[in-house]
């Protein structure tokens, strides 16, 4: 990818951040020289309407305009308050990884191309999308097993997202290099290395076979654990761009009212979650590294089911000791 193209995309992203008031919300008083001059100029071009929004809302609006790869960038930077500051990290943590769905026909094409089989041969029924995020969306479907229909969740990679992400990644690296060059105080934060980490983790998330393998490994580790499990993977219907797994019926853990209405003991759920995570980390050395409430369901019997295992972590025996 040409540096000219990367510079153009970076300029466009900067313009969106300026217009939506994100740059104006930064603590520019702490800057000096050219960075402070740029911040001052940016404030002049902020949409008047944007000034009435809170900083978190400005970020959300800008990210929606910039597209899926910027959602991932924002979520990643939310885990790095050392890079963006505590206040900005808190705002970024509130970003919802929710995008518009793409057409069912495109999902069908992606599945058939990935698995080399017709959709009717794979699923007895294949429904409309029920959820969509920056990298993939999920469909409800059914498969026939021994004459019985079983519900499954089918996760499909968003068409074109790899190409778009790798294009935007060039812009991220350009921004990181410029930051190191013109803001010497930022060099200790190693922005280029931070960008490399983002690139590595997102590449992993874009291969659904790796998520399937992580689900299977965590499922094997926890098969005898009380109160915690992960969806079973249907490997026959899983490939790089599609992951088929057991459909989960339950209440999302971020739905506090729903949990209470279902009669769940919130304190018991919290205790179970903490104990489960510690078992995975310290006993097995393999854990779900993105276990926020939106990725956790609570079944009727109180069992916690973790989904969306695109990011997993490992600890060696030495670290666990």
Per-residue pLDDT, averaged over 140-150, amounts to: 93
Active site residues: 290
Per-residue pLDDT, averaged over 291-301, amounts to: 91
* Mean confidence (pLDDT) of the chain: 89
User: If we measure between CA atoms, which residue out of 20, 104, 100 comes closest to residue 68?
Assistant: 100
Position 97 confidence tier, pLDDT thresholds 50, 70, 90: low
Residue intervals of the chain classified under CATH 1.10.510.10 are 104-159+207-320
Look up residue 83 and give its two tokens: 């890079």
The pLDDT of residue 2 = 65
Cα 16 to Cα 27, 35, 49, 164, 270: the distances in Å are 18, 18, 14, 17, 40
Q: What's the rounded Cα separation, in Å, for the pair 95 and 86?
A: 15
Position 96 confidence tier, pLDDT thresholds 50, 70, 90: low
With a cut of 60, say whether residue 1 has pLDDT above it: no
Query: What CATH number has the domain spanning 104-159+207-320?
Result: 1.10.510.10
Per-residue pLDDT, averaged over 38-49, amounts to: 80
Q: At what angle do helices 68-78 and 55-66 cross, to 10 degrees?
A: 140
The pLDDT of residue 214 = 97
Between 145 and 241, the more confident residue is 241
Between 286 and 166, the more confident residue is 286
Q: What's the rounded Cα separation, in Å, for the pair 133 and 144?
A: 28
With a cut of 90, say whether residue 94 has pLDDT above it: no
User: If we measure between CA atoms, which residue out of 149, 155, 175 comes closest to residue 70?
Assistant: 175
Report the side by side order of strands in the sheet with 228-229: 228-229, 304-306, 296-298, 251-252
The pLDDT of residue 71 = 84
The pLDDT of residue 31 = 67
């Amino acid at each position: 990818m040409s540096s000219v193209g990367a510079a153009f995309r970076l300029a466009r992203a900067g313009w969106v951040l300026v217009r939506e008031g994100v740059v104006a919300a930064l603590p520019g008083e702490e800057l000096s020289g050219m960075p402070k001059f740029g911040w001052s100029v940016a404030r002049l071009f902020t949409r008047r309407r944007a000034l009435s929004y809170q900083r978190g809302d400005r970020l959300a609006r800008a990210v929606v305009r910039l597209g899926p790869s910027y959602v991932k960038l924002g979520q990643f930077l939310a885990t790095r308050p050392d890079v963006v500051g505590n206040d900005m990290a808190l705002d970024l943590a509130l970003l919802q990884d929710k995008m518009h769905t793409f057409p069912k026909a495109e999902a069908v094409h992606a599945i058939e191309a990935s698995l080399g089989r017709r959709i009717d041969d794979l699923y007895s029924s294949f429904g409309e999308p029920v959820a969509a995020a920056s990298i993939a969306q999920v469909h409800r479907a059914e498969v026939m097993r021994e004459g019985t229909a079983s519900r499954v969740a089918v996760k499909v990679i968003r068409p074109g997202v790899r190409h778009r992400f790798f294009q935007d990644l060039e812009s991220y690296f350009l921004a990181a290099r410029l930051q190191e060059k013109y803001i010497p105080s930022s060099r200790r934060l190693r922005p280029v290395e931070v960008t490399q980490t983002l690139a590595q983790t997102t590449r992993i998330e874009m291969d659904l076979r790796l998520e399937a393998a992580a689900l299977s490994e965590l499922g094997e580790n926890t098969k005898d654990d009380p109160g915690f499990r992960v969806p079973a993977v249907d490997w026959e219907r899983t490939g790089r761009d599609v992951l088929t797994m057991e459909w989960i019926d339950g209440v999302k853990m971020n739905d506090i009212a729903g949990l209470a209405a279902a009669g769940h003991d919130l304190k018991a759920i919290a205790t179970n979650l903490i104990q489960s995570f510690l078992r995975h980390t310290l006993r097995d050395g393999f854990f779900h590294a993105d276990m926020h409430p939106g990725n956790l369901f609570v079944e009727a019997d109180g069992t916690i089911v973790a989904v969306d295992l695109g990011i997993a972590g490992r600890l060696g025996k030495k670290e666990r000791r």
